[in-house]
Structure formats: structure tokens, C-alpha cells
Structure 1
Amino acid sequence: MSESPQPYRVLARKYRPQSFAELIGQDAMVTTLGNAIKRDRLAHAFLLTGVRGVGKTSTARLIAKALNCIGADGQSGPTIAPCGVCEPCIAIAEGRHIDVVEMDAASHTGVDDVREIIEAVRYAAVSARYKVYIIDEVHMLSKNAFNALLKTLEEPPPHVKFLFATTEVNKVPVTVLSRCQRFDLRRITADMLATHFAKIVRAEGVEAEPEALALVARAAEGSARDGLSILDQAIAHADMEGSHGVTAQQVREMLGLSDRGAVRRLFGHMVGGDAVATLKALRDQHDLGVEPVAILRALLETVHGVTLAKVGGSDDPALSAEEREALQDWSSRLSYAALHRLWQLLLKGHDEVVRASLPIEAAEMALLRVIHAAQLPDPGELIKKLSNGEAVATPVQQGAASGQPSPPPPSQTLPADMPALVALLETGGRHRLAQILHDDIGLIRLEPPVLDIRLLRPQSSEVVRDLAVELKALTGAAWEVNCLDGPAAPSLKQQDEAREDRARAAIMATPIVKAAFETFPGSEMDWERTELRSAQA
């Protein structure tokens, strides 16, 4: 009678690490644990945290094996390299060891579940060196359950070890964290995952393009389990296609990634300002079934890749030689300012497409906005244009709005208006009086040598007398300065501020500045660096 075939096991389970040597990407943690075991400085509780699929539960089981391994000869003690052949190692690997208890806190959240553990820890291990409790997703325990566990967690019997795993360590009470030795498992790099996947496909007897494995590794986002699940699907996809191997094109189709060649063409049309070609390339991708948000994401990745190429970043293993050449070419032609602007515009467009009820239309509008912005000067160039007066469409009319009555024809020897009076005082070294006359005095009448003024702010009683004395000293004429309460023109300072406001309004109303603010929402004009020529006319 023939034996029934073994049921298929997914790659994520089949290639679960059985030793610390097989655990990828967590070298620092393995070193710490190894040193602790060698020096017999083992904590009574460990907390393992990290994103999904980086090996938290697998590490907990490996620690349980390391603590309870007796070696092939049955005489060995705790070791960072468990033999895998002794009874404790085999039983723990198969999940049937009576002294290694795994509990899923997501489905056992209450205080009663924890109370069972508290009651059981009083009893010695049946056959193992240590009784080990592995609690997965420990952050799901209720507040009462955590509180019930605290005393036992702080002072457990010497034969008990607690191993906690969680993806959300911020939800674990500080009182629990302080009683555990914490290990943060890092995301696994794409290069390391791609190398790991290459070993697995060889073991499975499957051919796979390096680029395909790099795409799978990138899609895994640092999670070995996610990557193996995607690889499982990619192998099945290749089989259904009647192929003998996994190709990059098949992986892109499976993951819904847009064709990189098409993305490069679209990016080239966009940065070249060709609106018609850009919209056609976008629609072609959409007609092939690529989601608009995926296209925007691919364009963002392209901008990121060009920027990295410009700063000399490391090459992405998922990129072909053709892609690297294209990125280098764009990096030589696009400035940092243009790349940062592209990133911001595409990021804004991506967010709009995610929320839009008409995604493809939103994507078209976003790319058209990018093309329109490409024809505008960058903010630095815009500031230069404003400083040179090039961006001001219409001159600001001045003088009439000041409210100042028309001065009489200037005298040959005496200043005929307020600016001339201020200039006379400044030239003569009377800076304090010049400042007061400019900032705080409104003109009622000026018929040299008669000056009628109104104080717009309280001043010393000596100001009027000092003005008369100093003007006589500077002009040789006997000035009559009167401080009255009648209607007066604004001070010269107020007039200057009014002209600047009108100049700013005129600049903000010009088409180029309006377009700049529509293109860069939330931007502000740097008025300190913008010369308001019209205000100084």
C-alpha cells in the first residue's frame, strides 16, 4: 500500500528558522543572547518586539530550545547553538513539549487566563530544565491581566522563563517593560531577504531571476514571512503560466506593479513638459489595469531613485542596468530644487488620488500640475525676479493716496515738504528729531518758515521748541513751529507702510506669483529678501 503524500507546507512554515544561525538580520540580538548564556546571566523574562514577520515567535522558540537543549549525548547545558536532535529540541520544534507553553494573548486576554499561568508556575518542569511560557501578541492582554501577572513576572521561580512577543510595544504597560529584558528585532534589509530567497528557490528546485527576487524582497517591506508568502505566490503564478522559473515581469504583474519601462517613459514625458504624451502614457498604464495610485507611487520611487543617484547613493539591486543609466542621466539634468519640488507635487497628487472618487482623473490633474510647475521658475529664481522688479505687472501709483496736501513750490533755500525737512535734519546730525518727524508727526501745513504739525504719539514738551531751534540753525531762517489738533496727513512712516502694502498687493496679484502659490500651497513670500521698488519710488 503506497504511503499518502505529505501535505504541502507553505514556504513561511517550511523554512522557519530552526537555529539561531538560520535567523537572518538579527545578529546583535543573537550575540547578546549567546553571551548571556555563556556567562549564565539569563534574564527571567524577555520581550521581543518588531514588525510582523521578522522572527519574534521563531526567536522565542529558539530561546526555549537553547535553554532546554541537552545535546546529542544528553549531558549538555544551555547553548546558543541547540543541537536540534535531542528530545527537548525535537519536541519544542514540533510544538508538543509539555514544559513549553505557547499562549496567544489575542484570544486569551482575560485575568482568568493569566491566573492559570500563575497557578502553574509554582510546579517544577516535568522533563525540561526550564518551564517556558511564550505569550504572543502580549499587548492584547487586559489591564487586569497585566496587573495579575506583575508579581509573578518580577519574582518568578528559578525554573520559569517568560518570553513575550508583540508588534505594538507602546501598548505594553511600563510596569511590565521594566521587568523584562527587551530585544527590538529589526526589519530585514531587502538585500538580505533577496539572498535568503535565492537559497530557498534553489532548495525548492525552482529557477528565479535575481530581479524577480529583488522585487519580492522589496515588496516584503522587511518581513521574512511576508516575503516568503509573496514568493510562494510567485512560484505558483509561474507554474500556471507554464514557465519553469519566476521572472521579474511575472512578479510585477502579480503584484500589480506598473512596468518600469513605461514608468520611465511617463517620467520622461512629465519632466519634459509634454502634457499630451504624459496623459497618453498615463491612460495606457490605466488601460492595462494598473491603479492610478500605483502609478503615482512608481513615479515617487523614480524621483527618489534619481535623487539617490544624484547624491551617490547605493544602487538598488532591483534595478536593471538600463534603469541605473536612466536615473544617472536624469540626476545630471535635474537640480536638487527641481527634484524636491517634483517629490512634493507628486506626494500631494498621491494623497489626492487616494482620497479621490475619480482616481484616474485626479492622477491626470496631478501630473498636469507637475508639468505646469515645471515651466515656472523655482522659488529662488522667483525671488530674484521679484527683486529685479520683473514680476510686478503694473506699477503702484503713489503720492495721491498719502493724504498729504499739495506742497507749495519749493523755496530756493528752505525745505518745501516733510521728506526734505527730515533729510535736512538727518544731514545736520539731528537724528533724534529726524526720527520723530518721520515716525510720529502728521503734517497740517508747511509754508516755510511756518510748520503746523500734529503729534501722533505723545512726545516731550521740548520737541516743538527743539524743532524750531534746530531748523533755524540749519537754514538761517526763524521758523515758527506750531503743535495743533486739526486734521493731519499720516506720518511719513505710515505713508511708507501704506505704499509697501500696496506694492505687496500688486506683487501678489501678478499672474506669476499667483501661479507659484497655487503650485506650492502653504508657501510664504520672503518679503525681507524682496525689494519693493515701487514702495521706494
Structure 2
Amino acid sequence: MSDSSFDLGEPPQPAKAPSDSGVYRVLARKYRPQTFAELIGQDAMVTTLANAIKRGRLAHAFLLTGVRGVGKTSTARLIAKALNCIGPDGNGGPTIDPCGVCEPCRAIAEGRHIDVIEMDAASHTGVDDVREIIDASRYSAVSARFKIYIIDEVHMLSKNAFNALLKTLEEPPAHVKFLFATTEVNKVPVTVLSRCQRFDLRRIPAEKLAAHFAFVSEAEGVGAEPEALALIARAAEGSARDGLSILDQAIAHAGIEGGGVRAATVRDMLGLSDRGAVRDLFGLVLAGDGQGALAALRRQYDLGVDPQGVLRALLETVHATTLAKLGTAPDLGQAVEEREALAGWAASLSFASLHRLWQLLLKGHEEVARAALPIEACEMVLLRLIHASTLPDPGELARMIANGAPPAAPSVASPARAAGTPVEASLPASFTSLIGMLDDKGEHALAAQLTNSARLVRYAPPELVLSSSRPLPVDLVRTLTTELKRITGRIWRVSAEDVLGEPTLREQREAEQLAERAAILETPVVKAAFAAFPEAELESWTGQRSTA
């Protein structure tokens, strides 16, 4: 393939490295990229190198930096192959698309080329090690076009070793190229950085990692759920090597249980919190249900989920809700239930509330990280969130203070109120009556929220339990508790539980209307009328129309 036909979008292929006599090779080694086309997520760097090779503008030293597992050492080896490839016919020159079949390409891939020297700076830190490189660099390459030194974790070299390398690094012989790789570029002296062409390898996006893992799973003959691969990609944090190691472990686990790599297995293996459980917990926190939230947390803890992992998942939920409120396009990898929940929370939560939740969770995450009792500290964080949800918005509180709003003066219309004791009213006999009472007392917005959003679990006044299986309007439980006490003079126990509950009153009314309309359409007279007049319409008492 010529340089002009190089395609960064080609699917990755398994490495062509030699077999190890039947010994199992882990996926991170087996699928190490052997061409630049197989290098994932580093398109900008590959394009720069391709242009430099085409125009003959090759630097004498390259510094490759980035987090673990993004391909620094693999890229260094690919550069070595690109510079020393001679093509299948033995007459080729440097190319961004090394053939992989000539002797230099195969020898470099197998790690046996005499002119490509790899050194681990973590175990060769001294000045004597560097002097050996300097002395050897004076001699021409034995069989290759360039003598190449690949120094991994170069930041581990001592100060004297760096100083010894400076002169040779600035004016190396024409036949020598230096390739440095490091995860901590800030520890490399500026004098060295200024003598190198630097490439910052990026974290690999999760969607690209998931696609790569899907290819590897298929090549290995193992089925894998897309959600499982997405979980592995997120856990890898941009590192292909870390992700392949996790996938290797998941495939081994699937070999025991059968059925391929499943999301539930990956969650258990990594100690991740189930997304549905996180949504339930977040809904309980917003509903102000302290007991329910702590119980949900303990269930996750008993399954082996780390308390920090729970708080991190809640942070991700707050962040996703904020993006949804901004109108950001939803992640196609999210489940439908999650997108619906995020949309509901985004509609009911203000930006101020979301920022407050973020700050409290972020502070709580730090506290749990250094706490002597992590699960207890996590419980206190959740209770702090619930308590904070009952506080007024800081801006609203500031306006109240500025306006000097006095507390409502007690009425003297009755001896009971003059004595400071609220008058107890009769409690509504049903949930529907309770909503009607609120509407009669002027709480129209609260009555509408209960009608449209509240799913009843239990009504035993003065106890009211609502379902949190779907997101409830923010502060609904707290507001309802306050208003019912004000209106009835009784202390109500309003809470939310993670159960399905009854349909909302609005859903019940709509179901009744549909049933009534269906019954009318089934009467003999109406059937005969529609048979005689197919274009006729039935107009119900609600003003809606139905056609046959």
C-alpha cells in the first residue's frame, strides 16, 4: 500500500507477532498494533509523522508522552519500523505504512533487531548506562538504515544521566534516532524537552475502545454484550492496555459461567454499581427519603460496591443531568430508562440545585477516600445531601434577609391559635380527596404535581408513601409535608419508596376515558352506524374524536 492510500479508519487487525510455542499470550500483547492503521485514537500524531516522512523532515529525537496504555512504546516501535522498512522487494524507503514482511520489519516486531535497542530507564537510571549508549551511537548501524534507541520511562533517568545525554541528543550522528517514552513528562528536564519533537498521545475515547474490544471479542470467538464492553471501556479510562486486561479477565470469567461477557458479570468483577441502582438511589435522595437512601446504599455495599464508587456514580449522574438540562445530545450508549430519568431530573432541578449537589458529592467523595469508616462516612454524605435539599436556595435566602420578611403573625381568631397550637382539621379519606383539599386551599401547583406525577404506594393518614420508581418533582416530599401540616394541623409522614406504585391520577383518568370510548364503539348501534358510514366519527363527551 502506498503512503497516499493510507487510511486511518481501517479496522484493527491482530498482531502478526510470532507464537510462543502454545503458551497463552494475553490480549494486550496479542493485539498490540503492528501498523499505524491499528493504532487507536492517535490520528493527529500519525498524520504529522506521515507528512514528516513524505517530506524527509524527520527529527533526530522524539518524545512520546501520555497516560499508561495509550501506545507510547508501541508507537516507538512502529516509528522504528517505518524508518527502517525496505519493502518486500528490498528497495523501499522510509514509509508511514511499513510492509511488515521485510527482514527489518519482522526483526523489529520480534524484538531481535540488532540496530533497534530498547532500554528501560526504570532499571537503568545511572550515568554509566547512558555512557554506553553514547559510546555505541558513534558506530554506524549494522544492517538497518538508522540505529534507533528506544528509552522507556525516560523520566526515571538520574540528573547526571540526563546531563551526560544532552550533547549527543543535540547533535547526534546522522544514522541515530532517539525515541523516548514517558508517563510523567513534567519530570523530564526542559533541556531535554527542547531537543526533542514532542507528541502527546491522547486518552483513547470510550466509544473507540468499546469498538476495539468488540473486534477483539469477535476475533477470540467470544460473545459480548455492548453494555459490558461499554463498562470495560469506561473502567479503562482511556487506556487500551488496561481495557484489554479487563476484557481478558472477563472472558476468563465467561468461560466458567458460559454465555459470553455479560454486563452484570463485568459489574460484579469490577465492583461497579448497577446503573439502575444508582438511579434509584439518586431518586431517593432527591425525594428526601433518608431511610430508603441508606437502605439502597447498604444493598450496594453488600454486593461489594465500594462506597467511593457509589459517590462517583452519583457524581456522574449529576453531571449527566446537567448536560441534559443544557440540551446536550444524549449518549446513544445509555439505556432508554436512563435517558428518561435524566430528562425528568433535568426538567425538575434548577442549575443552582445541580451545582449544590455536585459540590456536596465532590466534597463527600474526598471525605470517604480518607475516612477510617468509609461506608459510615458515605451514609453521612447522603444524609447531608438530603438535609441540604430542604434548605432554601442561597439566592432566595439572601433576598429574604435583604427584604427583612417577618414571620407570619399568629391569628387571634381562635383560642387555640392564640395559644400557638394549630387547629387540627379532619384528614382526607382518600388520596384523591387529599389532592382536592390542596386545590381548594389554593395549592394548585402542588395538586397538579400530585395528579400528574405521583404514584401512590400507601395512603394511611397521616402517612403517605409515594413511588420513586420514576423521578418525582424536586422538593415534592418536603413541600407536601410542610403544606399538609399547615393545612391540617397534623404532622404527616411523607416518604418515597423504590416500588412501582399505582398509576398517577392522570393516567387513571386517561385509562377510564379510553375504556369508555372502547365500550361505546362496541355497542351494536354504533357498530352498525360505522358499517353504514365508514367515514363517520365518534365525538366523546370530552370533545375528542375517534374514527372507525
- Write the letter of the residue equivalent to 1:162: F
In the TM superposition, residue 32 of structure 1 has moved relative to its aligned partner by 0.7
Alignment-derived partner of residue 19 in structure 1:
35
Give SS of 1:245's match.
coil
Aligned counterparts of 1:342 and 1:29: Cα–Cα separation in 2: 39
User: Is 1:306 aligned to 2:306, yes or no?
Assistant: no
AA aligned to 1:68 is N
1:128 aligns with 2:144: yes
The alignment's TM-score, normalised by the length of structure 1, stands at 0.71
Aligned residue number for residue 255 of structure 1: 270
- 1:376 partnered with 2:386: no
Cα offset for 1:319? 2.0
Picking from 11, 22, 27, the partner of 1:6 is 22
Superposed displacement of residue 4, structure 1:
10
In the TM superposition, what are the counterparts of 1:319-334 in structure 2 within 5 Å? 319-334=334-349
Note the C-alpha offset of 1:313: 2.5
Q: 3-state SS of the aligned residue for 2:199?
A: strand
How much does 1:288 deviate? 2.1
- Unaligned 5+ segments in structure 1 are 395-537
Q: Which secondary structure state, in structure 2, belongs to the residue aligned with residue 107 of structure 1?
A: coil
Residue in 1 that maps onto 2:236: 220
Report if the CA contact (8 A) 1:53-1:226 is conserved.
yes
**Alpha-carbon displacement from aligned partner over 1:38-96 (angstroms, at most 9, x marks no partner):** 11111111111111111000000000000000000000000000000000000000000
1:78 equivalent to 2:94? Answer yes
Question: C-alpha offsets along residues 156-186 of structure 1, whole Å, 9 cap, x if unaligned?
Answer: 1111100000111111111111111111111
The amino acid that maps onto 2:143 is S
Alignment TM-score, normalising by the size of structure 2: 0.70
SS at match of 1:368: helix
Q: Is the 8 A contact 1:70 1:76 kept in 2?
A: yes
Counterpart check, 1:116 vs 2:127: no
How far does the alpha carbon of each residue in 1:125-149 deviate from its partner, in whole angstroms, 9 at most, with x for none?
A: 0000000000000011111111111
Instruction: Give distance in 2, aligned partners of 1:173 and 1:36.
Output: 26
**Match for 2:146: what amino acid?**
Y
CA–CA separation in structure 1 for the residues paired with 2:373 and 2:20: 53
Match of 1:358 among 373, 382, 385: 373
Deviation at 1:341, TM superposition (A): 0.6
**Which of 41, 52, 55 matches 2:71?**
55
Deviation at 1:321, TM superposition (A): 1.4
Match of 2:224 among 208, 220, 242: 208
Rounded to whole Å, the distance in 2 between the matches of 1:91 and 1:309 is: 52
Separation of aligned partners in 2, 1:188 and 1:391: 58
Q: Alignment partner for residue 164 of structure 1, among 147, 167, 180?
A: 180
| Match for residue 273 of structure 1 among 288, 298, 320 | 288
Q: How far 1:391 moved relative to its partner?
A: 6.9
The one of 132, 151, 154 equivalent to 1:138 is 154
Aligned equivalents of 2:20, 2:136: Cα separation in 1: 40
The structural deviation recorded for 1:317 is 4.7
Identity %: 77
Which letter does structure 2 place at the counterpart of 1:110? G
The CA deviation string for residues 89-119 of structure 1, in whole angstroms up to 9 with x for no partner, is 0000000000000000000000100000111
1:88 and 2:76 correspond: no
Give the distance between the partners of 2:313 and 2:293, measured in 1 at CA.
14
Partner SS for 1:42 = coil
Question: Structure 1: how far apart are the matches of 2:379 and 2:20?
Answer: 57
SS at match of 1:208: coil
Matched residue, 1:235:
251
DSSP 3-state at the match of 1:212: helix
Q: Pick from 110, 115, 121: which aligns with 1:99?
A: 115
Do the aligned partners of 1:56 and 1:185 also contact (CA within 8 Å) in 2?
Answer: yes
The one-letter code sitting in structure 1 at the alignment partner of 2:40 is: I
Q: Contact 1:52–1:167 at 8 Å: present in 2 too?
A: yes
| Change in 2 beyond 3 A, CA 1:215/1:391 | farther
Q: Which deviates more from structure 2 when the two are superposed, residues 357-366 or residues 118-127?
A: 357-366
Question: Is 1:147 matched with 2:158?
Answer: no
> SS at the partner of 1:206?
coil
Aligned counterparts of 1:286 and 1:56: Cα–Cα separation in 2: 38
Once the 2 structures are TM-superposed, how far is the Cα of residue 298 of structure 1 from its aligned partner?
A: 1.3
Structure 2 counterpart of 1:297: 312
Alignment pair present for 1:348 and 2:363? yes
Question: Displacement, 1:312?
Answer: 2.2
Query: For 2:365, what is the secondary structure of its paired residue?
Result: helix
- C-alpha distance in structure 2 between counterparts of 1:37 and 1:27, whole Å: 15
Residue 432 (structure 2) aligns with: none
* Change in CA separation of 1:43 and 1:96 when aligned onto 2, cut-off 3 Å: same
**In structure 2, distance between residues paired with 1:4 and 1:151:** 41
**Offset at 1:392?**
7.8
Match of 1:196 in 2: 212
Residues 468-511 of structure 1: CA distance to partner in whole angstroms, max 9, x if unpaired? xxxxxxxxxxxxxxxxxxxxxxxxxxxxxxxxxxxxxxxxxxxx
Worse-superposed segment, 216-225 or 379-388: 379-388
Give distance in 2, aligned partners of 1:379 and 1:391.
Answer: 18
Which residue number corresponds to residue 437 of structure 2? none
Cα distance, 1:12 vs structure 2: 0.5
Root-mean-square deviation (Å): 1.6
Q: Does residue 51 of structure 2 align to residue 32 of structure 1?
A: no
Distance of 1:4 and 1:392 partners within structure 2? 82
Q: Which amino acid aligns with 1:165?
A: A
5+ residue gaps in structure 2?
Answer: 1-18, 410-548
2:318 partner letter: V
Paired letter, 1:253: D
In structure 1, C-alpha distance between the alignment counterparts of 2:403 and 2:378, rounded to whole Å: 37
Q: Tell me the secondary structure at the aligned position of residue 165 of structure 1.
A: strand
Q: Measure the CA separation in 1 of the matches of 2:20 and 2:309.
A: 45
Note the 1:404-423 alignment, pairs <5 A.
Answer: none
Q: Partner letter of residue 381 of structure 1?
A: E
The structure-2 alpha-carbon separation of the partners of 1:392 and 1:112, relative to structure 1 and needing over 3 Å to count, comes to farther
What's the CA shift for 1:314? 3.8
Helix, strand or coil at the partner of 2:166: helix
Aligned to 1:246, the other structure's residue is in SS state coil
Offset of residue 5 of structure 1: 5.9
Letter matched to residue 352 of structure 2: A
Larger radius of gyration: 1
Q: Distance in 1 between matches of 2:58 and 2:121?
A: 24
